[in-house]
Amino acid sequence: MADNIRPAGTFDTSYNEDMALNRTRGSFLRTYGSTILLLFVPLLVTLPIIGDIFGPVWVTIINTIAIFVIAAQGLNILIGYAGQISLGHAAFMAVGAYSGALLARGFSVGDLVIPALPFWLVIPLAALFTGLVGLIFGLPSLRVKGFYLAMATLAAQFIIPWLIENPLKPWTNAPDALQNIPPPSIFGYELATASQIYYLIIPLSILLMLLARNVMRTRTGRAFISVRDNDLAAELLGINIFTYKLQAFFLSALYAGIAGCLMAYERNTLSPDFFSLEVSIELLAMLVIGGAGFPKGPLFGVAFVKLMTSAVIPALGPVFNSILPPLLPFIDPVSIGTSLKP
């Protein structure tokens, strides 16, 4: 009887199948079906009837969610897969945002004049520059871990804004807002509104999510997981843990740089307040809520937090304001304290 029982599941018969982005038909349908659905969302939002009911603010909320999904996905690579903590992720977003804005506007350093660049050059250059900055702040991971690494990365959250507001002030205009960031243009068509830039943000967000999911099946991704689970055992197996830790910081900062650059395009203005310590903690909370170490964790975590803060809580505020005041006279603080006494 036992000989007739066959194991269930998806079994790979070749290395190419194991490395495939979509290993089953269901995975293929889920991936590309959701992509097609998201691409048609702005068409529905911009219809007159839907716009009258919900308003264009929902397009901005979706754009914000997609941008933060990219940033949280980078944090997921660092924390969820490589096991390295970071409390300065918003600062790396600031690097990508300001470097992207300056490249899009054009700037000069002495006699050197950098002309305004198109978005398809701005985003990669800003991302690479942010990745290099992430490498610098990732160097302490070679010697420390845990609480001490958290403190080392927290330094980025204070050093980078200080640099933006002081030595770099002639270019960043900080702490005042940096405005008039040129919108991205595709074949002469400017993506100036939230409904238009949606078509740039959403495909990039989906693409970067797929790349992050697939990189975990590569040699680098498996090395990240080995370092996370037991760095000593990984080193004994011949894995250069120092190299892979720095790679994790580079990829994490690169994702943050892309997110910051897209935020600069989407908001058309920048301020250091957009990238405060609270934003870094919020990103960490999003990752914990969605599930660190899971490919879709950043999506669920960001969607939950942003929808709660942007839609649910503002909608429930008037309800509580109308219900609670009449009930306050009937609430006795003394009886509540007595009931809570052990």
Give the chain's length.
342
Nearest residue to 71 via CA among 310, 306, 316, 243: 306
CA atoms in the 13 A half-sphere facing the CB of 194? 17
> Which residues neighbour 28 within 8 Å (Cβ) at sequence distance 6 or greater?
22
> Which residues neighbour 227 within 8 Å (Cβ) at sequence distance 6 or greater?
82, 83, 234, 239, 241, 244, 245, 248
Instruction: Report how far residue 220's alpha carbon sits from residue 209's, in angstroms, rounded to the nearest whole number.
Output: 17
| N- to C-terminal Cα separation, the chain | 59
Residue 54 token pair:
């919900």
Angle value at C-alpha 278, between 276 and 282, nearest 5 degrees: 125
> Would you write out the chain's pLDDT as a tens digit for each of its 342 residues?
455 555 555 666 665 655 555 566 666 666 666 666 665 666 655 554 544 555 678 888 889 999 999 999 999 999 999 999 899 999 999 999 999 999 999 988 888 888 889 999 999 999 999 999 999 998 888 788 878 888 888 999 999 999 999 999 988 887 888 888 999 988 888 888 888 888 899 889 989 998 998 888 888 999 999 999 888 888 888 889 989 999 999 999 999 999 999 999 999 999 999 999 999 999 999 999 999 988 889 999 999 999 998 877 777 777 767 776 776 666 655 554 555 555
Q: Decide: helix, strand or coil at residue 245.
A: helix
Nearest residue to 153 via CA among 170, 164, 141: 141
Residue 108 token pair:
């000069």
DSSP codes, 159-176: HHHHHHHTTTHHHH-TTS
State residue 180's pLDDT score: 86
Q: Decide: helix, strand or coil at residue 210.
A: helix
59, amino acid identity: V
> Which residues neighbour 157 within 8 Å (Cβ) at sequence distance 6 or greater?
87, 88, 90, 91, 277, 280
Contact 164, 172 (CB under 8 A): yes
State residue 177's pLDDT score: 83
Q: Chain centroid to CA 219: how far?
A: 23
Nearest residue to 118 via CA among 60, 190, 178, 68: 190
User: Based on the number of CB atoms within 10 Å of its own CB, is 237 exposed (0-12), middle (13-18) or buried (19 or more)?
Assistant: exposed
Residue 29 token pair:
């349908």
Residue 297 token pair:
């964790």
137, amino acid identity: F
State residue 1's pLDDT score: 46
Q: Decide: helix, strand or coil at residue 33.
A: helix
| CA distance readout (Å), 251 to 131, 159, 161, 220 | 6, 20, 21, 11
DSSP letter assigned to residue 182: P
Instruction: Report how far residue 288's alpha carbon sits from residue 157's, in angstroms, rounded to the nearest whole number.
Output: 20
State residue 48's pLDDT score: 47
Residue 211 token pair:
């790349």
State residue 55's pLDDT score: 62
